[in-house]
Structure formats: structure tokens, C-alpha cells
Amino acid sequence: MRWNIKSKVPETFIKKFPEYPPLVLQLLYDRGLDTQEKIDEFFNPDYLGDLHDPFLMLGMKEAVGKILKAIARREKIVVFADYDCDGICGGVILESVLKVLGANLGNIYIPDRHIEGFGLNKKAIEEIKEQGANLIITVDCGITNREEAQLAEELGMEVIITDHHEEVVGKKPETIVVDPHQRGDKYPFRELAGAGVAFKLVQALRQGHSAELSRSPQGKLSPENGLANGNKIPDGWEKWLLDLVALATVADMVPLLGENRTIVKYGLVVLAQTKRSGLRALMRAARLNPVLKKKATIDAASMDKMVSHIETGRYSFFTNLSGHTLGFILGPRINVASSLAHANIAYELLATDMEDEAERIANQLEEINRSKYELIEKIIFDAEEKLKEKPMGKIIFEASDKWPIGVVRWAAQRLKDKYGRPAFLFNITDGQAKGSIRSIPQFNVVEAMEQCGELLEKFGGHPCSAGCRLAEENLDKFKACLEKIAEEKLKDGDLEPTLDIDYQAQASDVDWRICDLVQGFAPFGQANPSPSFLLSGAEIAGLKTVGNGDKHLKMELKLKIDGGEKKIGAIGFNHGIKCEELKINDKVDIVFEFLVNEWNGNRELELKIIDIKQKI
């Protein structure tokens, strides 16, 4: 694996912020935190100060007016949500405020991932009409569904689009659209998740409802029950939705900077004390034990064990939940519903307030999630057996009628990471091939598919993550087309897996002070990944394998510092095989992350080995 150390911070940046050590300056610079205002917002997010006015978003005023009018007239409102974690969470968020406002709600509509696909569709529109709906509000989809929105209006329904995807010329619906990526929108932060946009709508509805009550006779908006019955929704009520907004934000892999970071920091604290039966049950099923503590009630040592914290003026709140909790534990369990069953299962979990029902659904999702990993391993095994039969090309392109389409994307990601080249994996059903594609930065798969467009029935996505559909009989031609493009675009050096390294650390950087400063960058996620560092010339003072099957490498490293030396432990998960290549007194270069090891009430600073090479 090739190691790539990021370019060093410019001297001008170092002089601008002399109070920070070089390692921290590197992390700040790489995240675009180049002003004191941005740095302060990053390290000390403030809910009231950092979240922007929702009415700055184009279409928000019109959307709020339309929804409040529909509520007052007792018109039936149906939420149409995407089938992934972002859409499901956003749908629950929006329904939560509509219920509080006393809306006449129909059943939420979440499309079948495998049958209906992404976004609005004719079948869904017709079914929603049969419910007697007057207004459809989309969540996390709809910005490209011009024809479908027009059909809904022809059937006598109104449509409000809330989305966060890019606008496509000629496909934007001619209706009310709330999407920070639409042309002409001047909202200060464009990178919200779909659930984040839904949350901004919730904020706007609360403000709009309060304004209406101040101008209108009591109860005008809704003659039914709920807070809308002449009562103002309490300030801060929407904060209890931040657990879902945070989960969706991390799961959808939008940048964890700016407003998103504030949402996630506060959302983790809300999640630790969530009122949602479904989230509590899901954490129990995943063997998560959330902890929430106040600064004033715990000692400094126990506070250090907490991963995330926020300050609210009077108190600091600490929790052991993290971005990893959201992105790698809870998010996948929500997403797996649509991949191997139907997203309605996950929606029912998050929407229920019945503990026994939540427990049942959470356990059901846990079983589905467990089966997902078994399927991924089988797909990877099958694909690698096929790869053995021929020389490795510049792309991986394999298909089978035994690979579930809902799982191939994870297998494609694993194969791309392992072999350092684009991976195209296909499920074949009834003569149709549906593909999931994961690529490297040097190969834009959307551009490549455009060049092979006459062979495809449908394709789309992002440069490194996309999907497509074509007739099975065209698979060989499609492969040949892609291989020709890859031969022209990709050099041999592009196909070597690369490990990006944030900074070359010195032995003096390996201490609790620097570790704590690095932890201050949490929660980690997209655009703010957990930092990795290079330590060169460490001497092996202890060496052994540990774990079931000796899979892991356990080392003690001797570091030279200030004319003396110090020792520190290091653990390399799944690096046990490298023990045969190493011996005591060898000098090694390691890429590592800081790791706090807790056992029997003790805390020890260790290094988590990402990769290791003998020093030449």
C-alpha cells in the first residue's frame, strides 16, 4: 500500500494561529478552518448561534404557508420519504411536528427500493391519491421528479418538495421546492442531509405557527387536539428531534462541518437520553449502553472517558456515543431494512412509542443486519473466485443471479478498497442486470457510463459511487466499453491502494495532551475523518500476537525523545500475520490513530496501528 502524506501547512497559516501545535494546525488547515470564527464554531458549536434562520432557504416561506393553511383546512397530508436512513429519519421528523400541529395525516409512503427505486413514481402518486390526500410533502427526494409532481397536480393534489440533492436542468418540479442546492438559493450552509432540510422545515413551521397564533383567534389553525389547539409549541421543543437528525446526517455521509457538526454534537447528547422507544431498543440490540453525564456531577477522570460533549452555559454534557455509533452501528441497522426487506420496518421502529413493539422490531433488524454480513462475505468469495480465473484488469466487473441487489454495494466497496480499482458488481434477475459501482478518485464512473450510455437503460450517482441498469445481454459489451476507457484513463500507479496520512508526528507528539486535542475534533465523519499519523523509526521493544486465531498484532514501541526514551503500547487489529516479518529491536514506520485503552479502571494511551512497514 502506498502512503500519501498530505501537503504541509503553509507558513502563513502557522503564523496566523501560533497558539496551536503543528499537528493541530495541520488538521485545521485540511478542514478549511482558516479563520478564528470557523475554528471557534468547530470546537465550541452553539445551537442558538450556529444554526441559521430556516427562512433564508429558498421556498421555505411558501412551504410553511402552504402547510399551515392545509392544517387549518383539515386537508389530508401525506409524507413521501426516501427509503434510506436519511429519508426514514427525515420522514419521522416531519411527521412529528405535523402531529403536534394537529395535521390530518395520511399514511407515510416509502417506496420499495428494489421495485420502485428512488424518488416519486406514478404508482406511488396514484396510491397516495387513493388515500384521499390533498398535499404531498417529500423528504430526501423529488428535486428531479418534474413529471411525477405534475401528475400529482393533475390528479388534484399539491406537492412540496424537500430535498438536498443537486438540481438537474429541466427536471426540477414546477412547485414549491425547499432544497439548498437549487439554483438561486442563498442559504449559508448547503450541505445539509435530507433530514437536516426536514428539520429546518420543522423549525420554520414552529416559528410560523407561533406567528399565526399571535395574529389569529385561539384555535384557528386546528380545531383538533394537540399543541396547535391555541397553544404555542414550546421554544426548544424541536431539540428532541436532533437524535434523528444527527443519525441521518452521519449515515448519509454529508460533511461534518458547519451546521452539520453542531447538529451532530447536540444530537449525540439527545440520543444518550432519547425519548424514542425505537432508538433505545435499537441500541440495546446493538449492545450499546449510552451514558450521559454533567460536568458538575462527575470527576475529571471519568469525564475523560466520554467521547462527545457540549456546553450549554450552566453545564457541560458528556456522552460516550460518537460519530462511529451513528455511522457504523445504528445507521447500517436502519439502512439494512430497505436493502433486504422494506424500509417500512425501520420507519415503524422509529415511529412507535410502544416498548414491546420497539423491542420486537429492533431484534428483527438485528437479525437482518447479521444476515447482511453473511451475504457480503459470500459475494466477495464468489467474486474473488471469478477473479482467479483470469488476469486482473484495471476494473473489477462481475455479475451473478445469486447476489442480492441490496447487498452488492457493500461488497463492491470492499473489493474496491482491497484491490484499489473500480468495482462493478451486478445482480441478474429476469434478464435485467442491476449494478452497484464503487470507484477510486482517478476514475469518474458517471463520466465513463455516459460514454457507454447506449448500452444502459438507466444510470446515475456520484463520481466514485453510482448505479446502473441494463439488459443482461449487454453486459459483455458494457464491460468491454469500460475496460477500454479504463485502459486510457488509468495508469498502473493509480491502481495501487493508497493510505492518506494527515501528518508526520514526532515522538514528542505521542502524549495525552496531543491525544486530547485530537479528540476535540470529534465527532468524526465525512470531511472530518478520524486523523491518522505517521511515526517513523520506532523501535520494537515487545512483540506478540493476540486474539482468537492470533489475528492481532500487539507491540511495545520504544521512542527516542529529548535525549531519552519512552515506551508506548500499540495494537494492530488483523495485522497478526505481520508478526512473522518482525523481530525485537527492528525499527519500523507506523501509521496510527490515538487509542485510549480502558481496563480494570485504568486508562492507557496506546497507538492503533493502521499500517506498518520496516524502516529501510
Domains of the chain with bracketed CATH: 54-333 (3.90.1640.30), 390-497 (3.10.310.30), 499-614 (2.40.50.460)
- CA geometry: angle at 533 spanning 532 and 538, to 5°? 135
Question: Which residue in 289, 311, 313, 293 sits closest to 302, CA to CA?
Answer: 293
**What is the percentage of the chain residues whose pLDDT exceeds 90?**
82
Per-residue confidence at 496, pLDDT binned at 50, 70, 90? confident
pLDDT for 226: 40
Per residue in 160-199, pLDDT (tens digit) is 999 999 887 888 889 999 999 999 999 999 999 999 999 9
Lowest mean pLDDT: which of 175-179, 289-293, 353-357? 289-293
In sequence order, what DSSP letters do the residues of 60-101 get, joined into one string?
HHHHHHHHHHHHHTT-EEEEEE-SSHHHHHHHHHHHHHHHHT
Per residue in 453-475, pLDDT (tens digit) is 999 998 887 888 888 999 999 99
**343-366 average pLDDT score:** 98
Single-letter residue type at 575: H
302 pLDDT higher than 70: no
Per-residue confidence at 245, pLDDT binned at 50, 70, 90? very high
pLDDT for 314: 56
pLDDT for 497: 85
- Cα–Cα distances in Å, from 336 out to 275, 377, 464? 23, 16, 21
Per residue in 328-342, pLDDT (tens digit) is 999 999 999 999 999
pLDDT for 315: 65
Per residue in 500-559, pLDDT (tens digit) is 999 999 999 999 999 999 999 999 999 999 999 999 999 999 999 999 999 999 999 999
Q: In sequence order, which residues have a C-beta less than 8 Å from that of residue 378 and are 6 or more positions away?
A: none
**217-239 average pLDDT score:** 62
pLDDT for 399: 97
Using the structure block, give the residue that is written with the C-alpha cell 485545521: 28
C-alpha cell at 526: 465525512
C-alpha cell at 226: 394537540
Single-letter residue type at 478: F
pLDDT for 1: 85
pLDDT for 233: 86
> For residues 376 and 407, what is the distance between their CA atoms, to the nearest angstrom?
6
> For residues 343 and 163, what is the distance between their CA atoms, to the nearest angstrom?
18
Per residue in 7-53, pLDDT (tens digit) is 999 999 999 999 999 999 999 999 999 999 999 999 999 999 999 99
Using the structure block, give the residue that is written with the C-alpha cell 389569529: 216
User: Beta strand pairing status for 308-311 and 292-294?
Assistant: unpaired
Half-sphere exposure of 584 (CA within 13 A, CB side): 4
Residue 507 φ then ψ, to 5°: -60, -35
> For residues 144 and 161, what is the distance between their CA atoms, to the nearest angstrom?
10
pLDDT for 223: 43
**582-602 average pLDDT score:** 90
pLDDT for 299: 47
Q: Is the peptide bond before 22 cis (omega within 30 degrees of 0)?
A: no
- Coil vs helix vs strand at 531: coil
> For residues 592 and 557, what is the distance between their CA atoms, to the nearest angstrom?
12
C-alpha cell at 3: 502512503
Single-letter residue type at 277: S
301 pLDDT higher than 70: no
The average confidence (pLDDT) of the chain is 92
pLDDT for 316: 80
230 pLDDT higher than 80: no
**365-370 average pLDDT score:** 96
225 pLDDT higher than 70: no
- Cα–Cα distances in Å, from 587 out to 488, 506, 569, 584? 41, 15, 15, 9
Instruction: Tell me, yes or no, if the pTM score tops 0.85.
Output: yes
Helix (H) or strand (E) holding 294: strand 292-294
pLDDT for 459: 87
HEC secondary structure over 197-231: HHHHHHHHHHHHHHHHHHHCCCCCCCCCCCCCCCC
C-alpha cell at 361: 422490531
Using the structure block, give the residue that is written with the C-alpha cell 511515526: 535
pLDDT for 218: 53
Q: Are 416 and 409 in contact (CB under 8 A)?
A: no
